[in-house]
Amino acid sequence: MSNMDMTHMDMDMGDGHMMHMGNLKRKFWVSLILTIPVVLMSPMMGAKLPFQIMFPGSDWVVAILGSILFFYGGMPFISGAKAELQLKQPAMMTLISMGISVAYIYSIYAVIANDILHVTPMVNNFFWELSTLIVIMLLGHWIEMNTVMNAGSAVDALGKLLPQTAHVIADDGTATDVQLSDLHVGQVVAVRAGEQIPADAKIISGTSDVNESLVTGESKAVKKTEGDDVIGGSVNGTGTFTAKVTGTGDSGYLAKVMDLIQNAKNSKSKSENLANRVAGWLFYAALFAGILAFIVWMFVGNLAVALPVAVAVFVIACPHALGLAVPLVVARSTALAAQNGLLIRNRDAMEQVNKLKFALMDKTGTLTMGHFQVNHLISLDADHTDDDVLALMAGLESGSSHPLATGILSDAKGKNIHFTPANDTHQETGLGQFGDIDGTTYGVVSVAYLDQHHLDYDHDQFKAFAAEGNSISFLVAGEKVLGLVAEGDEIKPAAKMLVTSLKAQGITPVMLTGDNQETANKVAAAVGIDDVQARLLPEDKERLVQKYQADGKVLFIGDGVNDAPSLARADIGMAIGSGTDVAIKSADIILVASDPADVIQFLDLARATNRKMTENLWWGAGYNLLAIPLAAGVLAPIGFMLDPMVGAVIMSLSTIIVAINAMTLKIKPIAE
């Protein structure tokens, strides 16, 4: 959504019926102005108020103003009801329309009966209630729209982060400023100190501290060096660097974020659909109660008694608080999540949190930094030196973005090792990378590949390196093992806190990794995970997700291509934002900052959101469940009849309570 101007902000007023925000605002103000004389000139449930102005013909002035109010201010609700009834799904708009329509029709009848037929109705008219109800409903929807717009302001802020131009570096090294719209993937750009980064890119040379707070919610500057990805819209620090553009326009990170936020706001969660279903049930309940009350009071009294009672039931059933119960909370929650680097692609996922029993998570990039460095490099073949092994491995990994590949390439470049990029490369997921170099097919493979193909290697050496926490890859050519590299990773600072928090919430943490068992055990012990599954292929992870699902709801956290099936299979799939596109597209939730602490924030926000939804649904529906039978006269035998005006006031208060309750939703800061 590129333009959040009020005149372009649309609102769904029922299935298929849309209103512009500006139109809604105008309708509210016009209706409010018309309501003032109606309130001053019409009785409240037949009772003349001290400030009321009554004169001959005032009833007809009120009737004219009330008619304008009904057809102008109430029409959006009636149009929405028409759409719902065409689909044979009466819901919120139908219930609202029933209330205001009955109030209007009865009021016109009362004016005609009193002034023309000279028959005094039991209740003079409901114009006071009609006008205030319409204004309150329009105001409530305006509040809702403003809340949604506040969520959309996060999108606005993101859209304004990008600079207007970029410094493109030509092949001869000269820099030219081009408009951002003319920037293409693959071009090299220079980013100077203090500038905003023009597009998603990968640093080619230079280092700097990058402030990503406006994009990720992370306040600390992040050190970026050669090979690191940077996000368009983040602010460069004191350093300078050149980078190759990896995403612009619709393919850039910010565009994806804006789409995610917009899709999240436009999609309806189960709670919202439940609110509409409840409104549908209330419509039938009010219809049944109103008709039954009319019939009963016809026998007990007469038409003059029965009609006002039935009308009171229909008017009091108006469900504005219920209509706002979930949307206000969702809009607030979406805004908070976006501002804190939590992107919600599927809102239904939030409603699964209270039922979670297991949290399955990948190791590399999720619990660990994913920034590998070579700790051991050994040639296992007399014809190849250590540098030869490194050069061949770097050649095979030259086109890969896998963290292990990045570690090998960084080590080769640091040692000024010349390598030839491999041809015809292909990957066997979970096993290794293969390709041709100078006519020979080589592979950088895992120990699982060696075991699968029964290739010999030094098991004691492997266990010793793995016990240090290293991930180990082997260089193979045909049936021969030429060398190995042992790379170490660093555990993320918040990983242990995440595991501790999950356990405290009654959620069992489980590590699923393709790495070796020894390394997995070392990382698991460091963060406090007891259940560890290692040496897994993608299909193994997905199978384990299904296995754990047999015992309860499963959250899966991952970042790699091999995690995508598991992310899609889990009840809640959570992708680390720095992960692959395919993983992110398979997930329900995306953690932009790639910080395990954000998992805790998401769980806290989801629980708070669900709690607010439940509270608001009770406020919205509970009022109706209590007021409808009281208005119908169930307590009449003991002398109590609910005054429709009292019902209208209570309805107004419940609307305000629902709105305030939604706006008090907050994200709790994570204790360090």
Token look-up 């009636």 returns: 78
Q: Counting runs of H as helices and runs of E as strands, what totals does the chain give?
A: 21, 24
What would the DSSP string read from start to end of 443-474? EEE-HHHHHHTT----HHHHHHHHHTTEEEEE
Secondary-structure breakdown of the chain: helix, strand, coil percentages, each rounded to the nearest 5? 55, 20, 30
> What is the 8-class DSSP label of residue 196?
B
Sign of CA dihedral 228, 233, 237, 242: positive
CA distance 84 to 78: 10
CA atoms of 648 and 631, how far apart (whole Å): 11
Q: What is the CB neighbour count within 10 angstroms for residue 602?
A: 24
438: three-class secondary structure by DSSP = coil
Residues sharing a CB contact under 8 Å with residue 493, sequence separation 6 or more, in sequence order: none
Catalytic residue (choose from 59, 228, 362, 563): 362
CB 508, CB 487: distance < 8 Å = no
Question: Are 306 and 314 a contacting pair, CB within 8 Å?
Answer: no
By the 10 Å C-beta count (0-12 exposed, 13-18 middle, 19+ buried), 261 is classed as buried
362 is catalytic: yes
CA distance 223 to 598: 20
Give the integer Cα–Cα distance in Å for 552 and 571: 9
Please, are residues 443 and 455 in contact by the beta-carbon 8 Å criterion?
Answer: no
Q: Is 209 exposed, middle or buried (0-12, 13-18, 19+ CB in 10 A)?
A: middle
Catalytic residues: 362
